[in-house]
Amino acid sequence: MTTLAEQAAVEGEEPGRPRPDLGDPSFWRLPHAERLRAFALLRQWEAPQYFVERERGRGRRERGFHALVRHADVVEASRNPEVFASAPGATTPEPARWVRALFGDSLVNLDGPRHAQLRRIVSRSFTPRILGRTEEDIRAVAARIVDDVLAADGGRGAGSTGAGGAGAGGGALGDRAGDFVTAVASRMPFEVICNLMGIPEAERPAILGQVNRASGDTGVARAARDRFRMPGKGLRALASMQGMVADLGRERRKNPTDDLVSMLVSADIDGQSLTGRELGAFFSLLMVAGVETTRNAIAHGLDLLTRHPEQRALLVADFDRYADGATEEIVRHSTPIIQFRRTLTRDHRMNGHAFRKGDKVVLFYASANRDEAVFTDPDAFDITRSPNPHVGYGGGGPHYCLGTYLAKQEMKALFRELLTRAPDLRATGAPVLVPSNFDNRVRSMPYAIAEGGDGKAGNG
């Protein structure tokens, strides 16, 4: 009996075109540009290709997935949740049953009526009053972060060379350089979400540590462990984080305030509000997914604007005109979330390929966002790109990212402050990426305020 992988090899390989292996952890340690070239090659195959994650052995079945790499396929699967289900898990690896029983199901792993109900509870908790206050807070947080950046650089900022310095030209770096991820990119979403949720200041350092531990193990295992990892320390961090917010939820039920936690635990949608465990699961999703994805988009954004001084100059010249396009293009080009997976609920045919009930498919947003059939010159960074139907926030359907509006506002507020008050701030080296099959994560990236940068940094 042939395995699915053997069948795929017969159906998929073509003379002179060796097939990249997305199931091999070593693939995800390749340079980012090399992985994008591999996706471009896979988009040329007629049918979605099958990849093995675990070989068949004594007492265990083969485990693998079909890769959806074309924009049209990713969108179709995203908008057809009755066939392409998020349950039992949308992440890689899928959460074990005992993990789901202990921590509860995250929104990303739910389908159907319960998923819709939880989304309604969350969506209706974002009242106009909360949204208005959050927009003000986003602007204040962005200003405070840039205050600190300028203070660390000795107070130099707007006026050192003026907005015209956003283009090319050699110049000396500021007195101090630092890590942009720590100093700027991570702070923005973390502070905004903590303020939104009403997290006490005293609890925040511990929560930040838990976020870093929980999200630090979604990459690719190194050394001899030739598999994707999710060690116990990440689960312990999630448990600790959920315990903190559950305690806060109990307090808010007794003594509600005007923060989001109070709204979530007191919301009465179809006679329901979030339970303590559901609140913990939502908070973990918001902190790990919301903080990580936005911080990575911000870091990649600075890298892209540094490497493309003509695009930076365009944005500086008329920020209000180009800000929306810039944020969309940053998300498309960097694609902070590389993929989510789905499970077939029944036999289905798509793009000429027959899927079977129980098959696993992976929606590769990173590939769909470079699809030549949709995007002209897809590897170019162009803040005027229109239309820009990227899938950086998902491919539509019920799982479209709940935090889209928040992320866009954070990015626009922060880059407005940076480009007007510190117009000569540049990335001074390539971002250090974490090898990962899940997110395009930036571990660190050096930056400095230059007296006219040369616009030459980045990862190609």
What confidence score (pLDDT) does residue 93 get? Answer: 73
What confidence score (pLDDT) does residue 217 get? Answer: 52
What does the alpha-carbon distance between residue 359 and residue 61 come to, in Å, rounded to a whole number? 13
What confidence score (pLDDT) does residue 273 get? Answer: 74
pLDDT per 10-residue tile (average), the chain, 460 residues: 40 60 94 96 94 77 91 97 94 76 80 89 86 95 97 62 32 62 96 94 88 66 41 67 86 91 78 78 82 96 98 97 98 97 97 93 98 98 98 95 94 98 95 94 93 47
What confidence score (pLDDT) does residue 175 get? Answer: 45
pTM listed for this prediction: 0.87
What confidence score (pLDDT) does residue 426 get? Answer: 95
What confidence score (pLDDT) does residue 271 get? Answer: 62
User: Tokens 């309604």 label which residue?
Assistant: 120
For 197-252, give the secondary structure using H, E and C: HCCCHHHHHHHHHHHHHHHCCCCECCCCCCCECCCHHHHHHHHHHHHHHHHHHHHH
What confidence score (pLDDT) does residue 224 get? Answer: 37
Beta bridge partners of 173: 450
What confidence score (pLDDT) does residue 4 get? Answer: 37
Of 352, 403, 368, 319, residue with least CA distance to 126: 403
Angle at 292 between CA 286 and CA 296, to 5 degrees: 145
What confidence score (pLDDT) does residue 54 get? Answer: 75
CA atoms within 13 A on the CB side of 216: 12
What does the alpha-carbon distance between residue 312 and residue 451 come to, in Å, rounded to a whole number? 16
Identify the H or E element spanning 366.
Answer: helix 365-368
What does the alpha-carbon distance between residue 5 and residue 9 come to, in Å, rounded to a whole number? 6
- At 176, phi and psi to the nearest 5? -130, 135
CA atoms within 13 A on the CB side of 367: 28
Of 107, 54, 122, residue with least CA distance to 340: 107
What confidence score (pLDDT) does residue 162 get? Answer: 33
What confidence score (pLDDT) does residue 431 get? Answer: 97
CA dist 24 → 226, 288, 354, 440 (Å): 8, 25, 24, 17
CA dist 89 → 109, 281, 361, 425 (Å): 5, 14, 11, 41
Sign of CA dihedral 202, 208, 214, 217: negative
Identify the H or E element spanning 172.
Answer: none
What confidence score (pLDDT) does residue 21 get? Answer: 95
